[in-house]
Amino acid sequence: MNNMNPKSLIVIFGATGDLAKRKLFPSIYRLYEKGKLSEEFAVVGVARRPLSHDEFRNYVQQSVEDSTKQELSDQHFISHFYYHPFDVTDTASYQELKALLERLDKTYNIPGNRIFYLAMAPEFFGTITSRLKSEGLTATNGWKRLVIEKPFGHDLKSAQQLNTEIRQAFSESEIFRIDHYLGKEMVQNIEVIRFANAIFEPLWNNRFISNIQITSSETLGVEDRGRYYDHSGALRDMVQNHMLQMVALLAMEPPIKLTTDDIRSEKVKVLRALRPISHDEVDQYFVRGQYGRGIVKGNEVISYREENNVDPNSNTETFVAGKLMIDNFRWAGVPFYIRTGKRMTEKSTKIVVQFKDVPMNLYYRTSETIQPNLLVIHIQPDEGITLHLNGKKSGENMKASPIKLDYCNNCIDGINTPEAYEKLLYDCMRGDATNFTHWDEVAASWSFVDPISEVWENTKAVDFPNYEAGSMGPKAADELLHKDGFHWWPIHYHE
Ligand SMILES: NC(=O)C1=CN([C@@H]2O[C@H](COP(=O)(O)OP(=O)(O)OC[C@H]3O[C@@H](n4cnc5c(N)ncnc54)[C@H](OP(=O)(O)O)[C@@H]3O)[C@@H](O)[C@H]2O)C=CC1
Ligand SMILES: O=C1O[C@H](COP(=O)(O)O)[C@@H](O)[C@H](O)[C@H]1O
């Protein structure tokens, strides 16, 4: 097998669902188009609705065309797709699926390499993996890998239970837990920015950095995911995984080598060093919010409690802001502020590293205040970095004024910047688990988040809804920083 063009049979459970349609089929297509898939690959879709192979191929074609906004001229790609309708709780059907996979192995000369992608509700994960093993689908001559979507559990206890179930059929090295933020170009760039630049790494500690802010704001509401979201909330949906993963990448020590195990082990150390928040400290460190009605991008929108499949008295948070402290030598005393929410002003994910002020400001006597140096990492929608510095004001005698050094990543790579799912699928095919979360990271993240969700679940938020749709969240999120003498930096690219 050429490792750069892996031969594999991908089985997608939940093939008629939203994720498969919007993300997985277009990603497989892009890999194919770029020549990253071997000609010898096949995809089998599994879901309950009764489709024929041809109907499924039309469905996949539509999904690819919706994504590329072009007609698919190459029917050869679509011919690699097959469909096997069944209810995953029905044991008997796994034998038929097994026969289909064995037939496709022969047709495409695939040496038993299988990816089982679970793009379904998590309550099915345990059932599917145990059936895959008991019915012999995992007993292949090639490699087998399990890709698991989030949420990985609802809390530490349920995550442990789920992990025990899937570990009956797959070893840790065969489990690829998706966190799609780890597939984003600029999230992957954090390590390079930090470790490949002599001007940053020596400053990357509590002697020079005053605070770090991570904002991931969305303009969308819960759309049609109310049933899931109302039992999850922003803390579990975004903080336990994506936000903490970004914190780990920003705060970890340089790994000894750039191997999967070395990088993961440094990230786990950060997650374990997070200062635990006890029940009575939650209000001091964390703020929750829920959106009311408002105007987003010029359109009036309804409140969270009016959304489909949401309890009209819901206590679920759609916004979280928090202050995290990392109790280790490098970060002692440096707050990491995070905030994320739905129905905010704009869609944006940004990291702002604020450096400490220079010890003695020679420009004090000027009327202008010197701005702190900032390193802004733009994750999305724009991708790049901006370094905010101070320079001499043109023509003025020794007056400092802010200047910016901008690097725009997707201005250069443009629309060719690979999609997160595309990169992660390719990594999985090549067996590279670096950008997937290890069980130890999942466990440490739940341990941190659990006390906060316990308090929030058991205390009614009397002020909900407490932020207007289209705003940047509740006032208390601003106060969280003000009491430390900081403020949130704006999320607009050019500010
Ligand atoms: N959508 C997204 O953007 C994201 C989704 N995720 C995660 O991905 C997973 C899938 O999400 P999403 O695609 O949105 O979910 P959907 O509800 O859109 O899709 C669920 C899929 O499961 C199938 N299904 C449901 N019950 C059964 C059953 N008993 N047997 C066989 N198939 C069944 C459905 O097809 P049918 O009705 O035909 O059986 C459908 O294909 C979830 O874990 C979600 O949390 C994670 C991040 C983002
Ligand atoms: O995992 C999730 O992420 C999305 C946000 O992802 P992004 O790539 O668009 O930033 C969020 O909308 C969703 O609720 C959550 O489950």
Q: How many helices (H) and strands (E) does the chain have?
A: 17, 17
For ligand 2, the distance from its centroid to the CA atom of residue 439, given in whole angstroms, is: 21
pLDDT at res. 414 = 47
Residue of 445, 175, 131, 467 whose CA lies nearest to 319:
467
Q: Is 242 a catalytic residue?
A: yes
- Nearest ligand by distance to the CA of 183: 2
CA pair distance 259, 247, nearest whole angstrom: 19
- Nearest ligand by distance to the CA of 245: 2
The answer, yes or no, to whether the previous bond of 372 is cis (omega within 30 of 0) is: no
Q: Which CATH superfamily is domain 8-149 in?
A: NAD(P)-binding Rossmann-like Domain (3.40.50.720)
Q: Which structure tokens are listed for 312? A: 């009209």
Could you report the per-residue pLDDT of 245-255, keeping only the tens digit for each? 999 999 999 99
Q: Which structure tokens are listed for 182? A: 């780890």
Q: Which residue among 154, 242, 388, 438 is the active-site one?
A: 242
Ligand 1 binding pocket mutation candidate from 43, 60, 120, 229 (most atoms within 8 A of CB) = 120
Relative to beta strand 144-148, strand 114-118 is: parallel
Instruction: For helices 420-430 and 25-33, give the axis angle rounded to 10 degrees.
Output: 70
User: Within 10 Å of residue 405's Cβ, how many Cβ atoms?
Assistant: 10
For residues 190 and 200, is the Cβ–Cβ distance under 8 A?
no
pLDDT at res. 2 = 43
Q: What is the pLDDT along the chain (495 residues), one digit of tens a residue?
A: 346 778 899 999 999 999 999 999 999 999 999 999 888 899 999 999 999 999 999 999 999 999 999 999 878 999 999 999 999 999 989 999 999 999 999 999 999 999 999 999 888 999 999 999 999 999 999 999 999 998 899 999 999 999 999 999 999 999 999 999 999 999 999 999 999 999 999 999 999 999 999 999 999 999 989 999 999 999 999 999 999 999 999 999 999 998 999 999 999 999 999 999 999 999 999 999 999 999 999 999 999 999 999 999 999 999 999 999 999 999 999 999 999 999 999 999 999 999 999 876 666 555 567 889 999 999 999 999 999 999 887 776 677 788 999 998 877 654 456 689 999 999 999 999 999 999 999 999 999 999 999 999 999 999 999 999 999 999 999 999 999 999 999 987 544
**Could you state, in order of their start, the residue ranges of all structural domains in the chain?**
8-149, 182-483
pLDDT at res. 493 = 52
pLDDT at res. 364 = 59
- pTM for this predicted structure: 0.94
For ligand 2, the distance from its centroid to the CA atom of residue 183, given in whole angstroms, is: 13
Ligand 1 binding pocket mutation candidate from 19, 51, 179, 218 (most atoms within 8 A of CB) = 19
pLDDT at res. 429 = 95
10 lines ligand 1 (CB under 6 A): no
pLDDT at res. 415 = 46
CA pair distance 420, 439, nearest whole angstrom: 21
179 lines ligand 2 (CB under 6 A): no
Could you report the per-residue pLDDT of 329-358, keeping only the tens digit for each? 999 999 999 999 999 999 999 999 999 998
Q: Which structure tokens are listed for 437? A: 């979360």
Tell me if residue 102 falls in helix, strand or coil.
Answer: helix
Tell me if residue 217 falls in helix, strand or coil.
Answer: strand
- Nearest ligand by distance to the CA of 19: 1
> Is 237 labelled a binding residue?
yes
For ligand 2, the distance from its centroid to the CA atom of residue 231, given in whole angstroms, is: 16
The CATH class of 182-483 is alpha beta
Could you report the per-residue pLDDT of 285-304, keeping only the tens digit for each? 999 999 999 999 999 999 99
Q: Please report the atom of ligand 2 found closest to the CA of residue 342.
A: 12
User: Within 10 Å of residue 426's Cβ, how many Cβ atoms?
Assistant: 21
Q: Please report the atom of ligand 2 found closest to the CA of residue 151.
A: 16
For residues 453 and 233, is the Cβ–Cβ distance under 8 A?
yes
Tell me the backbone φ, ψ of residue 352, rounded to 5 degrees.
-120, 120
ipTM (interface predicted TM): 0.97
Nearest CA to ligand 1 atom 48: 19
Task: List C-alpha distances in Å: 325 to 202, 238, 275, 356, 456.
Answer: 20, 18, 5, 17, 20
237 lines ligand 2 (CB under 6 A): yes
* Domain 8-149 and domain 182-483 have a common topology: no
